[in-house]
Amino acid sequence: MTTRIEATRLIPGRGNVVDNGVVIFADSAISYAGVANGAPETPDADVVSTDTVMPGMWECHGHFMGIYTANIDEVWTTRPQLAAMRVTADARRALHAGFTSVRELGGLGSFLSFAVEEGQVEGPNVYASGSALSMTGGHGDVHSMDLADARRAMIRAWGEDNVVDGPDEARAGVRRMLRLGARVIKIHASGGVLSQLDDPHLPQFSKEELEAIVDEATRMERIVAAHTHGKRGMMAAVEAGIKTLEHGTYIDEEVADAMIENDVMLVPTRWVIEFLMAEGEKRGMPEYAKKKAAAAAGQHAEGIALAVDKGVKMALGTDIFGVGLWGRNGEELALMVDCGMTPLQAIEMATANGPDTLGPQAPNTGQLVAGMDADVICISGDPSTDISLLGTPDNVTHVFKGGTRYKG
């Protein structure tokens, strides 16, 4: 079966909008994408007419956790079997919202990726980190338990112990994530908001630990993604060779320059900050997190604006973590336009830039280009002039992943 999409406008992901565009695919790859004039004849094709055709979007920082509250401790008090059932619905929500790829940075994503690949769960392609490596007492440790229980809780919930100290353990931690099927290595290189006792300003992991993690990951052809808020943590992570910086709250000129020089991308996750400020209270966000979120919120928006201004390369990530929140991922694009991007820059961030957050593990997708995977969505309206359209799943009328139709 050949599919032919005829669109008022084709947004290729990278590059200019094409008026009167056509996209054709017969199997898992795109065979033509461009102006209608030059398109080959396809007499037997299934024809879809739409306002806008664009690549399927990439969520580059999400968590399939299967919890309802804004209190991460719910992970440890929820049976993992139940959480796993719940995330299958979140996977479907993401796909139907136009997200055909997800880089999952801590949660059940590695297991979900297998179930999606087997065709048993309808969802995006998932590229997961397993858990996220943390030093003892770091952002990924569970501060409400003794350490032995914290390790046990993590093994029970997401499959492997994530707490590592010293270069040798750090290296072993990378290997534990690989045995979960990790496609990217996630670490916590500073304190965080939704953890009790650590300070987002302070760096986590020593230089030797960071270098061991990067060395081991690089050898296994994985890049390292580093959760970091404070400046010292960001500089240390960038100098150690991480390739994506997550959140980046206290970015300044010096950090932005170092990122550009070292080819490091920013995944800013504005959505979660806005969400916690607006809805955290009614969703049981702990008192300590409220304080930390409020302290970071304004600075975070300014940091993103500075990074946009400096031309730091970015990919879209929301830090979405809860049941039923998945599907709202597209709200991030309008937030990026609020921070100074043009709509087309936000779309490039959400599509063409996504695969680059996986380094050598990147699939051939993210753009409407012949030969690339047929991950294609149709939009009612024109997101190049009204970016907020992409925040509402109902505006995503058709979703194709690998040439297979999942919506429309």
- Strand boundaries in 140-242, DSSP class E: 185-188, 224-228
Nearer to Zn ion, 55 or 140 (CB): 140
Query: Would you say the C-alpha torsion 214, 217, 221, 222 has a positive or negative sign?
Result: negative
Choosing from 90, 141, 198, 319, which is the catalytic residue? 319
Task: Kindly provide the b/e burial profile for residues 297-317, where b requires at least 16 CB atoms within 10 angstroms of the residue's own CB.
Answer: beebbebbbbbbeeebbbbbb
Smallest gap from residue 63 Cβ to Zn ion (A): 6
Tokens 């320059």 -> residue:
257
Nearer to Zn ion, 319 or 348 (CB): 319
Smallest gap from residue 128 Cβ to Zn ion (A): 13
Residues 6+ apart with CB under 8 A from 337: 343, 346, 387
Give the contact letters, 275-314, x = binds to Zn ion (CB under 5 A), - = no.
Answer: ----------------------------------------
Nearer to Zn ion, 141 or 319 (CB): 319
Give the contact letters, 311-330, x = binds to Zn ion (CB under 5 A), - = no.
Answer: --------x-----------
H/E element, 7: strand 3-10
Residue 394 is encoded by which pair of tokens?
């109902």
Tell me the site size for Zn ion, rule CB under 5 A. Answer: 1
Nearer to Zn ion, 319 or 375 (CB): 319
Residue 189 is encoded by which pair of tokens?
């290189």
**What are the distances in angstroms from CA 308 to CA 36, 169, 266?**
34, 37, 10
Question: Which residue in the shown chain puts its C-beta closest to Zn ion?
Answer: 319
Q: Tell which residue, 95, 144, 93, has the closest CA to residue 405.
A: 95
The span from the CA of 364 to the CA of 243, in Å, is 19
Q: Is 73 a catalytic residue?
A: no
Smallest gap from residue 98 Cβ to Zn ion (A): 21
Residue 246 is encoded by which pair of tokens?
């997550």
H/E element, 277: helix 270-279
Paired strand residues for 33: 23
Smallest gap from residue 194 Cβ to Zn ion (A): 8
Burial class (CB in 10 A: 0-12, 13-18, 19+), 89: middle
Nearer to Zn ion, 6 or 319 (CB): 319
Q: Is 338 a catalytic residue?
A: no
Question: Is 104 among the residues that bind Zn ion (CB under 5 A)?
Answer: no
The span from the CA of 402 to the CA of 83, in Å, is 27
Nearer to Zn ion, 214 or 320 (CB): 320
Nearer to Zn ion, 104 or 348 (CB): 104
Smallest gap from residue 40 Cβ to Zn ion (A): 44
Choosing from 186, 231, 292, 401, which is the catalytic residue? 186
CB atoms within 10 A of CB 241: 17
Smallest gap from residue 303 Cβ to Zn ion (A): 16
Smallest gap from residue 370 Cβ to Zn ion (A): 35
Single-letter amino acid code for the residue at 248: G
Interaction site with Zn ion (CB under 5 A) = 319
Q: Kindly list the catalytic residues.
A: 186, 319
